[in-house]
Each structure stands twice: as C-alpha cells, then as structure tokens.
Amino acid sequence: MVATFSPTSTNFPNICGQEQAISEIVNHNETVFADRSDLNLDQIQAGFACALHMHQPTIPAGEYGALICNLQHMMENPHDGDNHNASVFAWCYSRMGEFIPDLVDAGCSPRIMLDYSGNLLWGLKQMGRDDVLDNLKKITCDEKYQPYTEWLGTMWSHAVATSTPIPDLKLHIQAWQHYFAEIFGVEALKRVKGFSPPEMHLPNHPDSLYEYIKALKECGYRWLLVQEHSVEHLDGSGLTQDEKYLPNRLLARNSRGEEISITALIKTQGSDTKLVAQMQPYYEAKSRGRQQLAGQDVPCLVSQIADGENGGVMMNEFPGGYNPAWHDIKNDGSVAGFNGTEYLELLDKKGITEVDYPVCQAVGQAKIWNLVNPADTTTEKVEAAIADLNANDHQFHMDGASWTNDLSWVKGYENVLEPMNELSAKFHEKYDRLVAEDPSVTKTEAYQRSLLYLMLVETSCFRYWGQGTWTDYARKLYADGMASLA
C-alpha cells in the first residue's frame, strides 16, 4: 500500500496520478468508528450529528495572475469589503483542533464532522499555514482524538453537481481524495466514508443522479448528506417528519432502467448557520425520542451542516454554543452526539442495514416515472417526458435542489457554463483515450495542469456571487485552461 503521495509538480496540488492506489485504499468494508465508540444505542433516547463546511476558492489574483487562495487575497487587501475577517476565518479553520482535545481531556465525548474543500486545504498549504494544518492533523491522526472527528469527502474544487459535466464529477471526487491523503495520510483517508455535496446540491435528472451515486460508490463512499426538500418518496410525496431523522436509501434509476442506491442522512431546516452555531440539533434531539426502524427501537438522528466560518454567528457564537453543550451531555446520558458513519455502523451491529431504510429519490423524479414505464424506458422516452413536463408543469425543473430553493445554479450563468462545458469537452477529447490506453498519463504535469484548471473553472463561487469580478476570474481560468490543452 502506498504510504504517501507526492504531486507530479510542486507548482500544483496533488490531485491525480494515483487513481488505482486510492481506489484500493478507500474500497473496503472495515469498521471505522463503531469498534471504538463509547456509545450504546440501547441506552440513548436521541442523537444528533453536526458538520462544518469550510471553503475558500482558488483565484487568479496573485502576482501576474498567479493562482492564490481567496483567504490570502483577503489578508493582502484587508480594507476591501469584509476582508478584515480573514484572520478570524483562519482561526475558524483551525479551532476544532483546539476544541476537541480540550473537551476530551475534560472527560466529554464530543463529535464533529468536517468538510474542507480541496481549494481551501491547498490554499492553507500555499500560505504556509502549518499552524492550521497541524491543529487539524492532531484531531485526525492522533488515535486519542480520532473517535470524535469524522472527515467528509467532497468535490475538490467545490463544484455543484447539477451544473458540472457528468464526466467531471468523479475527477473532483478523486482529486479531493488524492489531496487529503497527501496531507493527512492514507490511514485517515480510509476512514472517510461520508460525502458532503457542495451547496447541499443533489442532481435530480435521472442520468445525472445515477452517475453521481455510481461515482461516489466507486470512490468508496457509503453515505451522503442531503437536504430534506431535495428528496421525495417514490410516489412523489414528501418525507414524513420522522423519516427525516432516520437514514434513508436514496435510489437512482437512469434512462436505461438501471438502478443504484446509497445511504442518505437528511439535513433539515434550510441553511441557517444559527442552527449549528447555537447547537440547535442538540436541543432538538432533547425533544425527540426513539423511533422504529426495521422492527427495532433506535435513537433518531438530527443531522445538520453549516458554514464553519462564514458570518458573525459562526465566527463569534459557535464556541459559546458548542463547548458547553458537551459538558451538559456528559451529565445527561439520554442524548448523545454521533458522527454519521458511527451512527450507521452502530445500526449495522444491531442488524439494521441499508436494505432496511425507507426509500427516497431525488425530488421531481416521480413525475418522470409517471410518464415513463421504468421497465420499458429509453433515453429518448425520458427526455420526451422531461420536455413535456418543462412545457406544462411550472413547478417542474431539472436544476436539482440545494440548501435554498430560490437559487438556480444554471439559469443566468450561461456566460460561465458554456465556456465551462467547452473546456470540459476539450479536456476529455484530449485525454480520455490516452488515459484509457495508458493510465500513467494522469501522472504527467501536463495532465495535472489541465485538470486543475478544469476543476477551478467549475468552482461554484463563480456563479453564486453573480456577475462581475468572480465571472472575470472564471474567464481567466478558462483561458488558461484552454491554453494548457493547446
């Protein structure tokens, strides 16, 4: 087994070149948390799980258009906008490495799930912020603190799944695994079994969702976090309140009738960072009890994720909400904090597996399958049904669903999406056949450079922040990416 990973070029992050080795590392059925867990499902009334999402985009804003982390740009321009928050942001990226050890040493049993984009991890490395990375390594690699911290995989460059070309989804997923292994080691990567989608975005086109889940499973993931309004029952009805607090089996059926599924933990109540900053999941769990699953009583799980640094609430109120809660829990016992994989593994030990979970699908798909017989489906029939629904049902769309229903990641961003799709097409035109014939092509500096620019163009920030400077950044990255493929 490869112990460490070295990038092809020191000018670029380690995002490719070890695909087979990575696959062998992550595709295993070993227990990650349950054998070391101090929790007993039979003694707990309800549980909760909190995740923190951290991201800073890579932008061409350094000297002569060099690629730098937006955090570095903020620090170098402290008087622009809210850039004065840069040092606080950096502390937010580091502080769980302080909170977890302090709580454990005080006899508490804290939990946290961490989702850091590849851009951010690379940016911290570029900036020489070993203080931040060392704090994270402490709670990731030190066996004393491993049971309390779970890393969630994500897209390396914070790409929104629906507006990312399907062939690029797996490239982002694998790139994050490469870079995480370089920083934290392969043993830490083996423990990453949950996935956090950027912007909590779930594709709802049958073929896109199928390929998305297929890529996640091929990359060793067992479960992903989804927003409550992004899924539905197979008949199109919404999930019941109780079903949102249990794991679900997310089913995807493509236009050829093939099916695949993965476990989904349901995030509730929108994107309000106050929910995590003020430990609302803990207090909600205190008001809930045990639920029936596969004929057994089990504690429910209140799952939440929030930006870990963005906004005054997370910057200032989170420490005062997070740390005292674990001292309260230490003296209670009826409510416990879990990490996602830990909860699922403890259910496994009770004989409750994915086949026992309630089934859901991406929102809007029931309308398609009401028009197309799943047993006799073709791509043409599915596309005809989608066209009919787009023309006659104003509530129907294939833009997917994310943490907010009032933001499309497609409409209004054609000036970014069209070049992005063009760059993606040219990348695959140049490299797909070469890599198929010789997988070592992914070790070359030329491939690494082109892949980096492709992923950077697909960063969601260049759409979320609207037109202007951010789309100008995207155009510069697109031009450099096209030049790398010439």
DSSP 220-265: T--EEEEEGGGEE-TTSPPPPTGGGGS-EEEEEE-TTS-EEEEEEE
Which residue from 49, 437, 453, 427 is spatially nearest to 268, judged by alpha carbons? 49
Distance of CA 379 to the CA centre of its chain: 29
Spatial separation of the C-alpha atoms in residues 400 and 198, rounded to whole Å: 12
**The amino acid at 301:** L
Q: What is the pLDDT of residue 408?
A: 43
The rounded distance, in Å, linking the Cα atoms of 426 and 454 is 10
Domain-wise residue ranges, the chain? 19-362
CB 305 within 8 A of CB 200: yes
Q: Which of 31, 38, 36 is nearest to 337 (CA)?
A: 38
What string of pLDDT tens digits covers the 486 residues of the chain? 334 455 555 679 999 999 999 999 999 999 999 999 999 999 999 999 999 999 999 999 999 889 999 999 999 999 888 888 999 999 999 999 999 999 999 999 999 999 999 999 999 999 999 999 999 999 999 999 999 999 999 999 999 888 888 999 999 999 999 999 999 999 999 999 999 999 888 999 999 999 999 999 999 999 999 999 999 999 999 999 999 999 999 999 999 999 999 999 999 876 677 789 899 999 999 999 999 999 999 999 999 999 999 878 888 899 999 999 999 999 888 999 999 999 999 999 999 999 999 999 999 999 999 999 999 999 999 999 999 999 999 888 887 655 444 444 344 445 556 788 889 999 999 999 999 999 999 999 999 999 999 999 999 877 654 567 888 888 899 999 999 999
Integer Cα distance of 231 and 227 in angstroms: 7
Please give the pLDDT value at position 407. Answer: 45
Q: Where are the alpha helices (DSSP H) in 293-412?
A: 312, 318-330, 340-349, 365-371, 379-392
- Which long-range contacts (C-beta less than 8 Å, at least 24 apart) are formed by 126-134? 126/68, 126/69, 126/72, 127/69, 127/71, 127/72, 129/90, 131/94, 132/90, 132/93, 132/94, 132/97, 133/183, 134/97
Which residue in this structure is represented by tokens 């070391």?
36
pLDDT attached to residue 410: 44
Reduced to 3 states (helix: H, G, I; strand: E, B; else coil), residue 268 is coil
DSSP state, residue 94: H
What is residue 311's DSSP assignment? S
Structure confidence at residue 76 (pLDDT): 95
CA distance readout (Å), 123 to 118, 126, 226 = 8, 5, 27
Q: From CA 419, how far away is CA 425, in angstroms rounded? A: 10
Task: Report the C-alpha gap between 158 and 148 in whole angstroms.
Answer: 25
Pairing verdict, β 248-253 and 259-267: antiparallel
Q: What is the CATH architecture of 19-362? A: Alpha-Beta Barrel (3.20)
At which residue do the structure tokens 């995740």 appear? 51
Closest CA relative to residue 237, chosen from 364, 375, 357: 364
Nearest to 165 by CA among 486, 423, 441: 423
> Can you give the pLDDT at residue 313?
87
